[in-house]
Structure 1
Amino acid sequence: MPLLSRSHRAALVSSVALATTLTLAACGSGGTSGGGGSGGDAAGDTVQVLASFYPLQFVAERVGGDRVEVSNLTPPAAEPHDLELSPAQARTVGTADLVVYQSGFQAAVDEAVEGRQPAHVVDASEAAGLEEHPGESGTGASTTGTEDAHDDHADDGHDHSSHGGLDPHFWLDPTRLVPVAEQVAAELTAIDPDGADEYAANLAELTADLTALDTEYSEGLASCASPYLVTSHEAFGYLAERYGLEQIGITGIDPEAEPSPARLREVADVIRDHGITTIFFETLTSPKVTQTLAQDVGVQAAVLDPLEGLSDTGSDYLDVMRNNLEALRTGLTCA
């Protein structure tokens, strides 16, 4: 073989390095970060699952286990209500093996599902048993300050139309995640029959964890000085309904809505009349209005996570729900 000149050897080394870099990049392009799944499978047999926001990602990961690769369309710490999809993300809706989403919650995802027609879909809205106003007017004591709540919310831009008139935040009642998980297991089994036993076992384990969490909530909130759950927006109705509380939202379903002065006065009256000591703000929206109201009426403000997204990657749904339970027990003065 003829000897290569120094310049030819340098060119050859550069070409090899570039080829190696491209190969490694191609192998690493199927990650699970928020941009969506690939629809294909570099490993050859991993089921590609696309979830539209965090609680559905959690269910898909727990049920699918090692046999699935789950991508989340909503980036970490982002507000899922406002999600917009890039053309590339919209394409993944059509190429993923399974799409797990909630119709009526994220308009961009609804449009992508309708336009791309994925072969396998789980719509959480159908499984979760959604309601219009869960957790309200449960004790009769709300006649001071909540009977006109929805009229006031309408003035604030409160609008159920994007959710079909239904409260979408079902996942804050852990028992409502179980039928969603059952549908995910059924679809994964249809896609990957060889994994049927594993999916069934994972489903059983997740169901046991959710049942245990439900028991912790039932026992932890069984005896509280106040049943009134005052929140920055009405995201906790299913939780309130499940555990005998009554939600009083400063604003309605829309977390970006601004409360009217009349609504703020109304909620302040409820707080004073019922001796409420804590009102709750959220993790993904500004706490300013809630903290100002708390200061004005002389009560505490505390964080309650609606779990629409996951800010702390070191925790999961179960961890955040248990943190919420402790915040509730403190804020509502539970024995």
Structure 2
Amino acid sequence: MRTRLAIAALSVLLVATGCGSGASGSSDDRPQVVTAFYPLQFLTQRIGGDQVAITDLTKPGAEPHDVELNPRQVGTISDADLVVYLKGFQPAVDQAVGQEAGDKGFDVGSTVELLAAAESHEHGGEEEGEHAEGGKDPHVWLDPVRFATITDQLGDRLAQADPAHATDHRARAAALHAELDKLNEEYAARLKTCERREIVTSHTAFAYLAARYDLHEVGITGISPEAEASPQRLADVAKEAKETGATTIFFETLVSPKVAETIAKEVGARTAVLDPIEGKTDPNADYFTMMRANLTALTEALGCTS
């Protein structure tokens, strides 16, 4: 009899322990939020704070455009309380969200007006718009004003997913919005008066930044950083760089600088990093430090005096 009672008690304990671990096997009872890549992870962490548990689908230092998901990551999407992504940027994430997330998916691109890819690279040729779904440019986080709007909407979605801390989420979103407003003011002031307004970049990721601050982007390749520029395109970029007096050819952190270095050598310019902030390679950096580093690089390259 005692043996039967002991077995029964052990069974109850095992069942209770299993239930407490949750569907994903985690004992963390905070809302589970999945983010698709770094800028969205940054927003979610700043707004949710320690009151949410965040899993990011793109490893630090990885190129996010063509991320592939393993079965465990797909399961994480299925178990999440909220999935924060940008439709059209990462096809594998779009597919998993469509199949597993249901109404828990939050497409940040649905909250702001996205630029058409054709607007972002007027010399892009046949590669134009092929990467972004519907011909939209996904690099919206490089415009602090649009990013602030996304911040407000994400604050509301986190409040819905975690009503016990709704006030906290909305308050942090408001504070982050104010920081983004300040960043926008810094950009506008420092880029107001410059000798040049053309920026030559390795791939056309900076259309939102250029549109916001009255710059003209000359991209060596189009929306996709993996696209290869034709010899004619390279010649055209070199010619335009010479004509506009470009002193700097920009390359980015997650893509080889070789093409940018070739053009820089031809036109007698230097190279420098302009970070599209699609991923993070420096663990001590964040969105704001990277955006301000970009601002410094731009003011030096463009001869700004403000």
Question: If the length of structure 2 is used for normalisation, what is the TM-score?
Answer: 0.89
Match of 2:135 in 1: 165
Q: Could you tell me how far apart the structure 1 residues matched to 2:227 and 2:119 are?
A: 20
Query: Is the Cα contact below 8 Å between 1:181 and 1:203 reproduced in 2?
Result: yes
Query: 2:124 matched to 1:150?
Result: yes
Cα gap change, 1:250 to 1:176, in 2 (>3 Å): same
Q: Could you tell me how far apart the structure 1 residues matched to 2:79 and 2:151 are?
A: 22
Match of 1:233 in 2: 203
CA shift for structure 1 position 118? 3.9
Query: 2:55 matched to 1:58?
Result: no
Match of 1:142 in 2: none
The range that moved more, 122-131 or 80-89, is: 122-131
Query: 2:87 matched to 1:103?
Result: yes
Query: 2:267 matched to 1:297?
Result: yes
Percent identity for Structure 1 against Structure 2: 46
Query: Is the Cα contact below 8 Å between 2:131 and 2:223 reproduced in 1?
Result: no
RMSD: 2.0
From 83, 88, 91, give the equivalent of 2:75. 91
- Where does the alignment leave 5 or more consecutive residues of structure 2 unmatched? 1-16
From 42, 56, 65, give the equivalent of 2:27. 42
Secondary structure, aligned partner of 1:302: strand
Q: Could you tell me how far apart the structure 2 residues matched to 1:244 and 1:164 are?
A: 25
CA shift for structure 1 position 50? 0.4
CA shift for structure 1 position 135? 6.8
Q: Which has the larger radius of gyration?
A: 1
Q: Could you tell me how far apart the structure 1 residues matched to 2:188 and 2:132 are?
A: 32
Cα gap change, 1:195 to 1:134, in 2 (>3 Å): farther
Query: Is the Cα contact below 8 Å between 1:135 and 1:245 reproduced in 2?
Result: no
- AA of the residue aligned to 1:251: T
Match of 2:243 in 1: 273
Give 1:1-335 correspondences, 5 Å limit. Answer: 42-44=27-29, 46-133=30-117, 149-151=123-125, 154=126, 157-160=127-130, 162-335=132-305
Query: Is the Cα contact below 8 Å between 1:128 and 1:180 reproduced in 2?
Result: yes
CA shift for structure 1 position 294? 0.2
Cα gap change, 1:287 to 1:248, in 2 (>3 Å): same
Secondary structure, aligned partner of 1:314: coil
- AA of the residue aligned to 1:244: D
Secondary structure, aligned partner of 1:71: strand
CA shift for structure 1 position 275? 1.1
Query: Is the Cα contact below 8 Å between 2:195 and 2:303 reproduced in 1?
Result: yes
Secondary structure, aligned partner of 2:55: strand
Secondary structure, aligned partner of 2:250: strand
Secondary structure, aligned partner of 1:164: helix
Q: Could you tell me how far apart the structure 1 residues matched to 2:85 and 2:62 are?
A: 16
Question: If the length of structure 1 is used for normalisation, what is the TM-score?
Answer: 0.81
Matched residue count: 286
CA shift for structure 1 position 72? 0.7
Cα gap change, 1:333 to 1:39, in 2 (>3 Å): farther
- Where does the alignment leave 5 or more consecutive residues of structure 1 unmatched? 1-25, 31-37, 137-145
Q: Please give the per-residue CA displacement for 1:91-122, whole angstroms capped at 9, x wherever unaligned.
A: 11111111000111100001101111344221
CA shift for structure 1 position 174? 1.1
Q: Could you tell me how far apart the structure 1 residues matched to 2:131 and 2:118 are?
A: 16
CA shift for structure 1 position 163? 2.4
Q: Could you tell me how far apart the structure 1 residues matched to 2:24 and 2:282 are?
A: 27
Query: Is the Cα contact below 8 Å between 2:83 and 2:101 reproduced in 1?
Result: no
Query: Is the Cα contact below 8 Å between 2:116 and 2:135 reproduced in 1?
Result: yes
Cα gap change, 1:75 to 1:122, in 2 (>3 Å): same
Q: Please give the per-residue CA displacement for 1:266-311, whole angstroms capped at 9, x wherever unaligned.
A: 1111111111111100000000000111011111111011000011
Q: Could you tell me how far apart the structure 2 residues matched to 1:219 and 1:122 are?
A: 33
Match of 2:11 in 1: none
